[in-house]
Amino acid sequence: MKTALLLLIIAALFLFLVAFQRSRLPGIIQEAFEGTLPMTFSTTNQAGAVTKAGVAPLCPPSFKFYTDRDGVSMCCRGRIDFTEGRCYPVHDASTLPHVCTMGAEMKDDYGDPIKFCGSMIQSLLSELGAKDCTTGKPKRATADGISGFCCSDMPSPASPDRCPAGAASCAVLSPGENPFARSDSCGLERIDDGAFCPHDMNKTMMVGKKGEISGLTVPLCMSITPPRSETVPMCIPRNVLNELRRYNRYLSKDLNKWIGNCEVYDKVNIAESMSPQSPDLDKSGL
């Protein structure tokens, strides 16, 4: 009797599986979950921490998603220990907390409230804007806290990684990238903002055709008056030269003697406090 009942149950399960596979239900279930974020739920204090999600669009820029050992969704700006489900702070000059919560009200180990991640996005963008951006484009947009843009208008909290439609922008490069290599870089715009020309010279931006600035976009000073030095009527502001030397340009030049330095060009051709025949004068071109 028991054997017959067991065989009947097995046969019923087999028929159910056949019917399920032939129905549209598996496809409906797959369609319903396609494109959703990877999520892991933890309901007990003994549950282990989960690995980081493949996508975490709600974390502030430069923060990474994780869940703590209670299953609470968090964002971390530092080192994540996925075994312990903890975020350890990075030691830098930022005034922002190293951790925030995605929604649940929480307190840290010292009893202080942990900030909600959504409220930190604008604070982070303001901090990055003061560090990376220009006077005309003071608002920062970024997805990772490193690269991104500076904008003339504030990005929306829903899209902190891009400038609003119609806003003027420049590109924030990753550390180590040469700002002179991209004419749209914010670094180049900041350098240009700090460049000043001698009296009666006009500042312009030009792409170098040869020499050490070949292929680079560089702020220059130009004159329509033929110079006493009988050299090309242009020079490079000192602050621009200082930045170019950071990228291995003009390292062999003695900037205190080179006519390509606007400070020297000014002494020789405008203030006329230095002789164009001085043996110390380097008249080599740009």
Classify residue 106: in a domain, yes or no. Answer: yes
pLDDT at residue 118 above 80? no
Do 196 and 248 belong to one domain?
Answer: yes
Most confident of 5-14, 113-122, 244-253: 244-253
Does residue 181 lie in a domain region?
Answer: no
Band of residue 128 on the pLDDT scale cut at 50, 70, 90: confident
In a domain, 76, yes or no: yes
Kindly provide the b/e burial profile for residues 15-27, where b requires at least 16 CB atoms within 10 angstroms of the residue's own CB: eeeeeeeeeeeee
Q: Tally DSSP H helices, then E strands, for the chain.
A: 6, 11
In a domain, 228, yes or no: yes
Question: How far out from the chain centre does Cα 131 lie?
Answer: 11
> Cβ atoms within 10 A of the Cβ of 87, count?
22
Q: Does some domain include residue 50? A: no
**Does 231 lie in the same domain as 198?**
yes
Domain of residue 167: give its range. 120-175
Residue 63, pLDDT above cutoff 50: yes
CA distances from 54 to 38, 74, 240 (A): 7, 14, 42
Question: Are residues 112 and 125 located together in one domain of the fold?
Answer: no
Report the half-sphere exposure of 22 (CA within 13 A, side-chain side). 6
Q: How far is CA 187 from CA 53, 131, 160, 282, in A?
A: 33, 11, 20, 29
Inter-axis angle of helices 186-193 and 238-246, to 10 degrees?
Answer: 150
Q: What are phi and psi of 220, to 5 degrees?
A: -130, 160
User: What is the average pLDDT value for the chain, to the nearest integer?
Assistant: 81
Torsion of CA 130, 136, 141, 145, to 10 degrees: -30
Q: Tell me the backbone φ, ψ of residue 116, rounded to 5 degrees.
A: -75, 135
Does residue 19 form part of some domain? no
| pTM exceeding the 0.85 threshold for the entire prediction | no
* pLDDT, tens only, 269-285: 999 999 999 999 999 99
- Whether 126 and 85 map to the same domain: the answer is no
The answer to whether residue 13 is domain-embedded is no
> Is 124 found in the same domain as 112?
no
Mean pLDDT value across residues 154-170: 89
3-state helix, strand, coil in the chain (%, to 5): 25, 20, 55
Count of CB atoms situated within 10 Å of the CB of 181: 14
72 and 139 share a domain? no
The total number of structural domains in the chain stands at 3
Same domain as 198, residue 128: no
* Residue 54 confidence (pLDDT): 40
Q: Note whether 165 and 236 are same-domain residues.
A: no
Least confident interval from 24-38, 55-69, 115-129, 133-147: 24-38
Tell whether 71 and 144 lie within a shared domain: no
The proportion of the chain whose per-residue pLDDT surpasses 90, expressed as a percent, equals 47
**Closest to 263 measured CA to CA, from 243, 230, 279, 240:** 240
Q: Which of 2-6, 74-78, 240-244, 246-250 has the lowest mean pLDDT?
A: 2-6
Residue 142 confidence (pLDDT) = 86
Clarify whether residues 106 and 84 are in a common domain.
yes
Task: Examine the domain organization and report whether 194 and 264 are in the same domain.
Answer: yes
Does some domain include residue 242?
A: yes
- What pLDDT was estimated at residue 58? 66
Could you tell me if 110 and 139 lie in one domain?
A: no
Pair of tokens at residue 133: 């951006």
Q: What is the pLDDT of residue 104?
A: 67
